[in-house]
Chain A
Amino acid sequence: MRLSWIRGRELRFAAVTAWLAWLTAYAPAQTNLVGYWNPLFHEDVDERIPGPSIGDYLGLPISDAARLRAEAWDASLLSMPEHQCKPHPSTYGFRGVGVLRIWEDRDDDTQQLVKIHTHIAWQEQHREIWMDGRPHPPEYAQHTWQGFSTGSWDGDVLVVKTTHLKAGWMRRNGLPLSDRATMTDRFHRYGDIMTHVMIVEDPVYLTEPLVKTNGFLLQPAGTMTPYPCEPVVEVVREPGFVPHYLPGKNPFLDEFGEHYGLPREATRGGAATALPEFAETLR
């Protein structure tokens, strides 16, 4: 074949076309997570539906600093206009209420996956998971409720790494997470069931990674309604007042343990309270 007629443009076109064909043929194993998913509340229902009791830190690997912060927390904080419309951080949102919707952005020309979106109805928690290999921004970049997330595939399991989180919470009874927290979460799909696994690390408020799992059920005819939130003055307070308890002054810390007959060394949490041998100490 004579090659003299081949010009640079043709070569570049052919090379790009071949590369795209190769990408398509060798895309890593993936699973389709797109759709509407209802959270299953067969686990931790007390924490996730009505809300956890004050002073319930059972099984959580919290530091002393986390315990101190939680003991100063007053639920009246949530009635302040500044706090009424806060979404959950991504380190908690998958445990909360509300339908989860997942969809994809694909490049129009290559059909390669660029981004996966997750959106949870309550307070419109919208998360972007970049799948295009971009790096995380420098530490000084803005921290947000959902953070900055990149994804990859471990076989057919979506694995997401999240950084740049605002200071948030690990439980809705004042147990905090710092803005140094990071999360790795995994999406395992088994037919119409999805197991979401989250591994949260926080050098400030956790003594070891916190691992939690959340179940979801696919809704083939799912829908989602908007969740507008407009803060209002619910309680007239003196300017500058923030509901809180000073150390040692929270009168509600022992109510939970007393109600269920659990000792304080259990309800105050810590990594040791999650181990089987701790159960033996309760007998």
Chain B
Amino acid sequence: MSAARLSLALAVVASVLAADVALAQPAPARPTPPASPREAAPIDLTGQWVAIVNEDWRWRMVTPPKGDYASVPLNDEGRRVADQWDVSQDGHCEAYGAGALLRMPTRLRIRWDGAARLVLETDAGRQIRNFDFGAQAPAGARSLQGQSAAKWVTPPRNPGGPGLAGAGGGPASNGGYLEVKTSNLSPGWLRRNGVPYSEDAAVTEYFARFAAPNGAEWLIVTTIVDDPRYLTQRFVVSNHFRKEAEGGHWNPRACGGGA
């Protein structure tokens, strides 16, 4: 390649990139305050969602038999505690703690409380979880729902270039999901038959939303329970919820006894 040809090519490349950079990053006129978590939300999780229970059905829709902890990576101590469960404890509130609340056959209502707190409410067990963005309040007493720190995770922004990698069927979006880390928990159950997690457990959840080809809106929650006391490895499940009209079939029913 001649030097002239190379120079021309480099000049054109530099011009194109410089022009785009200039267009994509206009000089700010004046400093603007950072957007609140509510304003910065990359996805809208608010509204009413219904659990579609087509996985682990017989562990979720009914109370499984005592000692049925198949697929939960319990250690010996976890099994020992699970074996102490008695059917008289069926329905106790330990089954509705943050470690497994979203496994229940339930509906969710998610709403904002101010600009930095998302509230998730379930009709099953009548539980309320608060997802707080930013600085956390001092930890209080341990509780079934613990203390949850939330943050939005957004991928690098796609400025809409026609890159080959973005092609292949359907428009790309900028995605993003909610990460929630929960601690300060009181002991609870991973299953309704007393499969335990301890107060040492930490729960990490990822909330993602998308539209299916038929237009239905789905919420996928991946839940990871890490409990060094009762588990040999992280327990990972994912729950799917379908958006529905507010108020439809909302049926609050309290849990009874226990925690």
Q: Does A140 have its Cβ within 8 Å of any Cβ on chain B?
A: no
Of the listed stretches B113-121, B132-140, B174-182, name the one at the interface; the rest are far from the partner chain: B174-182
Could you mark each residue 15-31 of chain A with 1 if its beta carbon is under 8 Å from any beta carbon of chain B, else 0? 10110011111111111
Asked if A276 meets B51 with Cβ closer than 8 Å, knowing A42-B73, A155-B176, A190-B206, the reply is yes
Tell me if B58 and A154 are in contact (CB < 8 A): no
CB distance from B83 to the nearest CB of A (A): 19
Tell me if B213 and A199 are in contact (CB < 8 A): yes
Could you mark each residue 229-259 of chain B with 1 if its beta carbon is under 8 Å from any beta carbon of chain A, else 0? 0000001111110100000010100000000
CB distance from B68 to the nearest CB of A (A): 10
Bound-complex Cα distance A255 to B147 (A): 44
Bound-complex Cα distance A237 to B187 (A): 58
Q: Which of B123, B155, B216 sits near A209, CB closer than 8 Å?
A: B216
Q: Does A193 have its Cβ within 8 Å of any Cβ on chain B?
A: yes
Asked if A213 meets B55 with Cβ closer than 8 Å, knowing A154-B173, A195-B206, the reply is yes
Interfacial residues of chain A within 107-153, with CB under 8 A of chain B in the complex: 107, 110, 112-114, 130-134, 150-153
Asked if A112 meets B62 with Cβ closer than 8 Å, knowing A17-B9, A154-B172, A155-B172, the reply is no
CB distance from A168 to the nearest CB of B (A): 18
Tell me if B165 and A5 are in contact (CB < 8 A): no
Main secondary structure on chain A at its contact with chain B? mixed
| Chain B residues whose C-beta falls within 8 Å of the C-beta of A155 in the assembled complex | 42, 154-155, 158, 172-176
Q: Does A282 have its Cβ within 8 Å of any Cβ on chain B?
A: yes
**Number of A-B contacts defined by CB within 8 Å:** 244
Tell me if A18 and B238 are in contact (CB < 8 A): no
Bound-complex Cα distance A261 to B163 (A): 56
CB distance from A183 to the nearest CB of B (A): 10
Q: Does B87 have its Cβ within 8 Å of any Cβ on chain A?
A: no
Determine the residue in chain A with the shortest Cβ distance to B253: A280
Q: Does B107 have its Cβ within 8 Å of any Cβ on chain A?
A: yes
Bound-complex Cα distance A159 to B206 (A): 18
CB distance from B169 to the nearest CB of A (A): 5
Q: Does A13 have its Cβ within 8 Å of any Cβ on chain B?
A: yes
Bound-complex Cα distance A18 to B233 (A): 50
| Chain B residues whose C-beta falls within 8 Å of the C-beta of A161 in the assembled complex | 169-170
Tell me if A156 and B163 are in contact (CB < 8 A): no
Tell me if A260 and B58 are in contact (CB < 8 A): yes
Q: Does A59 have its Cβ within 8 Å of any Cβ on chain B?
A: yes
Tell me if B168 and A10 are in contact (CB < 8 A): no
Q: Does A211 have its Cβ within 8 Å of any Cβ on chain B?
A: yes
Of the listed stretches A43-51, A74-82, A219-227, A228-236, name the one at the interface; the rest are far from the partner chain: A43-51
Sample of 18 A–B contacts (CB below 8 Å): A5-B4, A15-B12, A18-B12, A26-B158, A27-B161, A28-B161, A28-B172, A29-B174, A42-B236, A45-B70, A59-B53, A155-B42, A195-B206, A208-B214, A211-B54, A212-B55, A276-B51, A276-B105
Q: With contacts A59-B57, A154-B175 known, what are 14 further pairs, Cβ within 8 A?
A: A5-B4, A23-B162, A25-B161, A42-B72, A58-B58, A130-B168, A154-B173, A156-B155, A195-B206, A209-B212, A275-B52, A276-B123, A276-B249, A279-B105
* Interface residues in chain A, defined as those with a beta carbon under 8 Å from any beta carbon in chain B: 5-6, 10, 13-15, 17-18, 21-31, 40-46, 58-61, 107, 110, 112-114, 130-134, 150-157, 159, 161, 182, 184, 186, 188, 190, 193, 195, 197, 199, 201, 208-213, 215, 217, 260, 262, 266, 273-280, 282
